Structure 1
C-alpha cells in the first residue's frame, strides 16, 4: 500500500510502538552499564519532553477504500466520521460507508465508502430507474434483479459505473418473421429496432425499396417485417395504333344500309413507358413518350339516306333486292316457320316466316313486330338481311335458299 505523503514522520509509528521504544530505553536491559543507561535515559527524556505535542497529536493509519480504490491514509481521527471529514468526503443519503460513521478506528483498520449511482434501465422499451452502489454494469443489473442472460446491452457488462450514472438499454431475445427476396424466415433476434434487425441479418435496402414497418419500430415478439424490392425501368416497345371510323351519308343507299368504301388500316408507334416493379411484378406503367411511325388509315362507311320503296302487296316475292331475288325464299320460310307469317316461337323471341328477332327486324328497317307484317314485307327484310350477313343468319335452314 502507498503511504499518504501528507502524514508527519512520527505517524509512521503507531502509539504502542513509540511508547514501547521509550519504555525499553527508560527501564533498560540487563548487562548495560549504569553510565550508559543513564545517558540513554537522559536522551530519551529530552526527546519525550521536546516531542510531547507530537505524541499527543499522533495520527491513525487506515486503509480507506473509495469506490474500489484503496489508499493508506493517516489522519488525526478517532471515528470513521472524523476520518471522512478530515479527508473531505461527504456522503449523500444513498451512499454507504462501513463501518458506520460513529464507529471507533485504530491503526490498521479498513474503511470502505461506496457512492450511489443512478441507473436507468430500459428493457424492451419499458424504463425503470434504480440507485445502486455497485461498480460495474453486470453487478448492478444483478443487484437490482434484472436478468439479462442472452440479451443485448447498449454498454459492455464490464463497464465501470461512474458517479454520473448510466442510461442502459437491454433488449431480450425475440422471435420475429422476416420476409425478403422471395424468402420467409423466422429468426431470433436481440436487435432493438427493425433497422438494427436488417443490419443484423445483412439486408441492405435500395433507395426505392420499402418496408412494411418503419425502421425505428421496436422489435417485439411475433413482429412480421416485409421488405419489398422496388425496381424502376424505362421500357420502349412498338405498338399498333387503331384506326378511326368515319360515316358519310349516301343517297345511293336505302335508309338502314351501310357500305364500307375505305377499309381501315391500323398504324404503329414507338412508345416509351416508365415501369415500376415490386418484387418483380409490374405495379404501375406510365406512358412518357410516343412517336407514330405509321399513320393509321381511317375507315369510311357510307350510310344510306334514300327512302325505301313501298312493299309489294303480292303473295310471295316482296320488294326487289339485287342478288337475293333468285333465291328460294319459300323453301327457307317453310323450314323456319312452316310457312306461317304470324307464328311466334314458344319463348316469344322469334317471329314470322323467317323467325326474326325484334332487334334484327329493326336493324333491317322493319317496324313493329315481324309477325304482324305482311309476308312480302317479311321476305323483303329477309333479303336485306341476307345481303348484309349472308345465309348464316339461319344456321339450320339457310341452305334451303340454294335449293
Structure 2
C-alpha cells in the first residue's frame, strides 16, 4: 500500500506519511464505531411454537423486529407483548402463529383462524359449551394442525314411544332409522314408525314405534234351520204335524285380524268352514177334508133341566170347536221381507230369515197373539208367530214373503186367522 501511495506522490515522503496516518485513523474509527454498534444491540429471545430463537437487534419495537427478521406475521397470530411494545435489553417475545381450521357447526361450515392447541380450546374460543351428548369429530383432545377439519353437532332430546313405554333420549341430527339402530330398537316386518324412517329428526320430533301384528280369530256361529212344509192326506185339513224338529248347524268363520299396539284395527273374513250342516224342520200339513156333520131329527122330548142344558151346551159349542179350529179373528195383514229397510233378517225369536226365505213367519202383537204360536192365515197358510214390529199393534199382522215383489202383490188386506196352538 505504501508503494502505491509513493507512486502517486513521488518525492513527497512527509505527505505520504500523513495520508497513511489519516487512513489508519479512519479504519480505527470505523472499527470502534462498528464495535460500539454491535455492543449496543438488544438481545431478544423469541418463543415460536415452543422453540427459542435469540436475535440481536437495533429494532425499536416488536413489529420492527418481526420485519427485520422477515417473519410473516398474521393478524390472527398471538404475540406477547404486543407489536407496538418497545424493545429493551434481554427481552422475551412469545409468538404463536395462527392456523386455519375448517369447522362445521350443526351443518354450517366456516373457516376460522385459531391459536388454540386442541379442539377443546378451539370450542372454548368459539364460546361453544359442549356436553358429552354432543357429536365432535375428531375428539376434543386432538391437536390443532393446519387445514384440520372439525365437525360439531349439538345434541337435543327426543321422545320415543315404543312397546307401551315413553322414554327421552339425547341425540344429534340424524334419520329416524339411524336413531332407532343406535338405540337398539328392532322393528318387525309389519311394524310402522312415525315419522318415516328416512325423515331427519330435530328437537321437535316425537318418534312412535307402532307394533303391528296379524292374527287369526275363529268365531263359532250357529246356523238356523229352515222350516219345510209338506202336504199330508192322512191329516185333516188345517192340522199340522212336526215330522222333524230340525237341528241348528254350525260354521267356523276365520277372520284375519290386524292389531296395532294390541288394539284391533281391522278384521277380514278369509274362510268359512262348515262344521255341521243344519237340518230343516219338517211340518206335515193336513189336506184331508173334515168329516161332514150329520143333523139328526128326533121326536120332541121334555126340555131338560137348566143344569143339564148348560152342561150339554158347554160340551157341544165350547169344547169341540176350540179343539178343532182354535181361536179365530179378523185382522189387517201387510207383508215384509228379510231385506226390508231397517231389517236385520233375524226375527225377534231368533229365526234367520236370510237363510230361510220361504219360511212362513208372521209378525204379531204378543199381547194379542203369543209368540211361538202356530197361526193359520187365510190366503197365506200356517205360519209361526215368530216376529214383532213397531207398527204391529192390536189386530194387525205382518206376513213374511220371499221377495219385495211378493210383498207388493200382497198389499194390505183383511184376512181371517186361526190360532192353532
Larger-gyration structure (1/2)? 2
* TM-score, normalising length: structure 2: 0.44
Instruction: Choose between structure 1 and 2: higher helix proportion.
Output: 1
* TM-score, normalising length: structure 1: 0.46
Instruction: Choose between structure 1 and 2: higher strand proportion.
Output: 2
